Amino acid sequence: MKISFANVSVPKTGTLVVGILDGGTLTPGAQAVDEATGGALSRALKAGKFKGTKSHFLSVLAPAGKIVRVLCVGLGKAKDLDALSLQNLGGKIVSQLATHAPSIQVLVDALEGCDLDAPEMASNMALGARLASYRFDKYKTKKIKCHQPQLKNVKLLCAGSAQAKALYAPQDKIADGVFLTRDLVSEPANVLYPESFAKHAKALTKLGVKVEVLTKTQMAKLGMGALLGVAQGSDQDPRMVVMQWTGKPKRKGAKASKADAPVAFVGKGVTFDSGGISIKPSGGMEDMKWDMGGAGVVTGLMKALAGRKAKVNVVGVIGLVENMPSGSAQRPGDIVTSMSGQTIEVINTDAEGRLVLADALWYTKERFNPHTMVDLATLTGAILVALGDQYAGLFTNNDDLAQQLIDAGQAVDEKVWMMPMGNGYDKMINSPVADMQNVGERWGGSITAAQFLKRFVGDIKWAHLDIAGMTWSKSGKATAPKGGTGFGVRLLDRWVSDKVEG
């Protein structure tokens, strides 16, 4: 969908969108349209129950001349309008009009009492509209025309349109990253497997990202026994993809300093998780195509950061495997040796993501020595029991980092909740026959999983995001249609922008 901006004028044709404040007060743009249509909006408001309540809509059809439709949008109180509410509003406008018009024009006014000016309002509405426009229907061969989106162009009219366009430009690149993540998460496992996923990552070279793909043979030479153990039951060979964006190159002749160290993002990429020998129940197993959600977020984030030319050095590492049962599959009771040299007793082959991350985290730490590592994974069902689909679980060895991620999540409505860690939980994964086992007791499963990962990060500042409840939505929301959400891309981009970039 194309987003554009122009200075304020009252269009004489097409589909228009205007704002109505709480109590039925017309915004300046709505007043101008009302006058141009001979009072059609005022009459419609008087005839019905629409009073400008937040997120309520009133559609006025064929009010005058060549104006086909005016959608009156309830803004609520001006003082309550902020970036997130305007993004949601933009998304809801697209949902209301997606099947009704090929293009729309939205009049955006500066409002007394609102902390945002007109360009800021317009850019946020534009972002919401873009995010809401996502569809994944490439495999549908029969489409009902009246149900298909027609909307291709959204033009926002406001004072300071050039400023609005400039504010929106980086957000558009972030949306590109979100869409890539949604695409990856939505693909079926017969299409997206380790090798094909790696090819998607390779495409980021067009944006200036350096991409390396490690093969099974290379990982074996590095001693990645934990990751390779997960992959050994599948006909699909594993891959590890290393992506580097150097947005803040070292000055010529300058000595290397701590400031030159990158920030690293590490993602679990299980392209299909059957559970292996500890096989999952058949009901809902089709959802396990998106068990690569963490790797999807890291790849989308790298696209977002490179797309907006972020002034930061970033490494993205994703471990890509398929977890299948077969005669060669890993068995419960097997002991594997990770790249770190630590041995792991595999109690449950369905606790495989932490084995993949163990080697990916250690590799990232040893090769790049980042100042901070953040990993993402659809790691445990236990986090869904704890937090449902409202928050991702946050585990960390650094309280300041925790607060920064919480703040970034609140700013973009991708919320995280800090979970406890400690020695008591850590002891629950000690093994009598190896250095550790890959699962603990039944209780506190998301915590013991995080404790397992902590054993592979050393002294690096680190956070683990368990996004099992956030990667896929069966209902959707204003800026994320049901399906793959892309949760994590905007959160981590915001954290990089606020706390790392510079």
Tokens linked to 399? 């309280």
Is 239 a catalytic site residue?
A: no
Distance from C-alpha of 247 to C-alpha of 66, rounded to nearest angstrom: 49
Host H or E run for residue 120: helix 118-132
Contact between 72 and 102 under an 8 Å Cβ cutoff? The reply is no
Distance from C-alpha of 122 to C-alpha of 117, rounded to nearest angstrom: 9
Candidates 368, 121, 147, 140; CA nearest to 263 is 368
Catalytic residue among 135, 280, 311, 415: 280
Q: How long is the chain? A: 502
Q: Is 8 exposed, middle or buried (0-12, 13-18, 19+ CB in 10 A)?
A: middle
Distance from C-alpha of 480 to C-alpha of 448, rounded to nearest angstrom: 31
Ramachandran angles phi, psi of 75, nearest 5°: -95, -15
Is 367 a catalytic site residue?
A: no
Compute how many other C-beta atoms are within 10 angstroms of the C-beta atom of residue 254: 10
Catalytic residue among 92, 216, 354, 490: 354
Contact between 213 and 239 under an 8 Å Cβ cutoff? The reply is yes
Q: What's the chain's Rg over C-alpha atoms?
A: 25
Distance from C-alpha of 418 to C-alpha of 70, rounded to nearest angstrom: 45
Active site members: 280, 354
